[in-house]
Amino acid sequence: MKTIQTAVLADGPCGGSGAHEPARGDNEAAGDVGAAGFGELGADEAGAGMEGGGEICVVMPTYNERDNLEPTLTALFAWNHEVHALIVDDASPDGTGEAAEILAAGDPRIYVLHRMGKNGLGPAYLAGFDWALKRGYATLCSMDMDGSHRAQDLHAMLDVMRARPEIDLTIGSRRVPGGRTEGWSRHRNWISRAGSWYAREMLGLGVRDMTSGLRAYRARILRASGLRSVEANGYVFQIDMARRVAAAGGIIVEVPIVFPERIHGRSKMGADIVFEAMWRVTGWGLRRLFGRR
């Protein structure tokens, strides 16, 4: 695997969202899927008469993010007016799914995928990727709906994707020069750095920020990454995806981002998610070190 670090400055928001002409599709909701509801993961049906289907789809998982929906989407489209957004909601008790439907009714770039109940970040992303791959999007992004992923950073990352067709995955990185967290305690930064270091060493990857969820993937690399066998549930999903892209021969770059603390709502991170990351990374690492992938 080759990893390259790229520093890019964003040039400013795109202006009023009214200027946008959606590439294709109407404003209906994306629909409902079960908690484990993905099938062929983007099989060969790309764009075959399905709603949606633009160039870039930003997959945004939500669980109890009602107050974050509007500000996050407003910023997303101000900086990236050409993208579509797919909200993947796990039946949030606070009404995030219903609020997302109202926003989708007023903007043809917004789609909503409803799932039956809280089932983790990994399955939510897989359902979203499946939806977008089947509709033929060329670039699929992942972005949190909690204000920690800044729209201007995604803009800079998409500039890199446009300028460098050979790149398969751009990771928004807190751990390359120019990247940083804001409002984190020293303790939290230490845990995050230690986690990335451990995963990097165990997996033999050159990625500095292994757990960052702000990413842009080419559809081609997702199709080559064997998504149907993904089992990772919590934020180890991001580590697993970096591992799979590298194993598929993908070129990965890290672009510096600023990562502010969320303003509204609560983090869903817990000890179970950290524990899952530890045991999965250790398992993958031992298999790598002892020659069994």
Ligand X SMILES: Nc1nc2c(ncn2[C@@H]2O[C@H](COP(=O)(O)OP(=O)(O)OP(=O)(O)O)[C@@H](O)[C@H]2O)c(=O)[nH]1
CA angle (139 as vertex; 266, 120 as ends), nearest 5:
30
164 counts as binding ligand X under rule CB under 6 A: no
Measured CA to CA, the distance from residue 195 to residue 192 in angstroms comes to 5
Contact yes or no for 177/256 (Cβ under 8 A) = yes
What are the residues binding Mg ion (CB under 5 A)?
Answer: 144, 146, 148
Instruction: Pick the binder of ligand X from 42, 52, 54, 65 (CB under 6 A).
Output: 65
161 counts as binding ligand X under rule CB under 6 A: no
Beta bridge partners of 111: 86
CA angle (197 as vertex; 192, 201 as ends), nearest 5:
155
Rounded to a whole number of angstroms, the minimum distance from the CB of residue 251 to ligand X is 25
148 counts as binding ligand X under rule CB under 6 A: yes
Residues from 84 through 103 that contact ligand X (CB under 6 A): 88-90
- CA–chain centroid gap for 54, Å, is 17
Count of residues engaged in binding ligand X, rule: CB under 6 A: 21
Kind and range of the H or E run holding 57: strand 56-62
Nearer to Mg ion, 181 or 225 (CB): 181
Instruction: Pick the binder of ligand X from 6, 112, 135, 146 (CB under 6 A).
Output: 146
61 counts as binding ligand X under rule CB under 6 A: yes
Nearer to Mg ion, 64 or 225 (CB): 64
269 touches, from Mg ion, ligand X, none (C-beta below 5 to 8 Å by class): ligand X
Measured CA to CA, the distance from residue 238 to residue 144 in angstroms comes to 12
Sign of CA dihedral 114, 118, 121, 123: negative
Residue 4: count other Cβ atoms within 10 Å of its Cβ: 15
Nearer to ligand X, 66 or 135 (CB): 66
Nearer to ligand X, 118 or 193 (CB): 118
Rounded to a whole number of angstroms, the minimum distance from the CB of residue 49 to ligand X is 27
Rounded to a whole number of angstroms, the minimum distance from the CB of residue 289 to Mg ion is 32
Q: Is 60 helix (H, G, I), strand (E, B) or coil?
A: strand
Measured CA to CA, the distance from residue 248 to residue 268 in angstroms comes to 30
Residue 51, both tokens: 């709603």
Residues from 104 through 143 that contact ligand X (CB under 6 A): 118-121, 124
Write each residue from 206 to 245 as x if it is in contact with ligand X (CB under 6 A), else as -, in one continuous string: -----------------------------x----------
DSSP β-ladder status, 31-33 and 56-62: unpaired
Contact yes or no for 288/204 (Cβ under 8 A) = yes
62 touches, from Mg ion, ligand X, none (C-beta below 5 to 8 Å by class): ligand X
Instruction: Pick the binder of ligand X from 20, 164, 264, 268 (CB under 6 A).
Output: 268
Contact yes or no for 152/10 (Cβ under 8 A) = yes
Rounded to a whole number of angstroms, the minimum distance from the CB of residue 264 to Mg ion is 11
Note the residues at the interface with ligand X (CB under 6 A): 61-63, 65, 88-90, 118-121, 124, 144-146, 148, 235, 262, 267-269
